[in-house]
Amino acid sequence: MRRLSFFLSFIGIASTTATACYGPADAASAHADSLRTDSIARARQDSINRTLPGYVIDSARPIPEEIRRFAARIGGNPVSMFAHASASREALVRRVVRDVVASDSTDLSAAAITPREFIDLVYPSSPYTHPPYEQPPDLVWMQIANPSAAGYRRLLARRGGQAFAYVGYGCAGKPERQGANTIHVDCVVTVRDPSHQAIKQRWFGSIIERDGRFKILSYRNQF
Does the structure show a pLDDT above 90 at 106? yes
Average pLDDT estimate for 128-136: 94
pLDDT tens by residue, 15-64? 433 333 334 344 334 444 444 555 555 555 555 544 544 444 444 799 99
Q: How many domains does the chain have?
A: 1
| Segments of 58-201 assigned E as strands | 165-171, 176-178, 181-185, 187-192, 198-201
User: What pLDDT shows up at residue 60?
Assistant: 76
Domain coverage including residue 135: 2-19+31-218
Query: Who wins on pLDDT, 73 or 5?
Result: 73
Count the Cβ atoms, other than its own, within 10 Å of residue 117. Answer: 22
The two beta strands, 176-178 and 181-185, are antiparallel
User: What pLDDT shows up at residue 173?
Assistant: 81
Indicate whether 26 belongs to any domain.
no
pLDDT tens by residue, 136-195? 999 999 999 999 999 999 999 999 999 999 999 999 889 999 999 999 999 999 999 999
Residues 6+ away with beta carbon under 8 Å from 91: 214
Residue 206 CA to residue 196 CA, distance in Å, equals: 27
Indicate whether 176 belongs to any domain.
yes
Q: Alpha carbon of 202 to those of 133, 173, 189: distances in Å?
A: 27, 13, 6
Residues 6+ away with beta carbon under 8 Å from 122: 113, 178, 181, 208, 217
Indicate whether 223 belongs to any domain.
no
Does the structure show a pLDDT above 60 at 108? yes
Residue 165 CA to residue 106 CA, distance in Å, equals: 20
pLDDT band at residue 107 under the 50/70/90 scheme: very high
Residue type, 124: P
Interhelix angle 2-17/63-74, rounded to 10 degrees, is 140
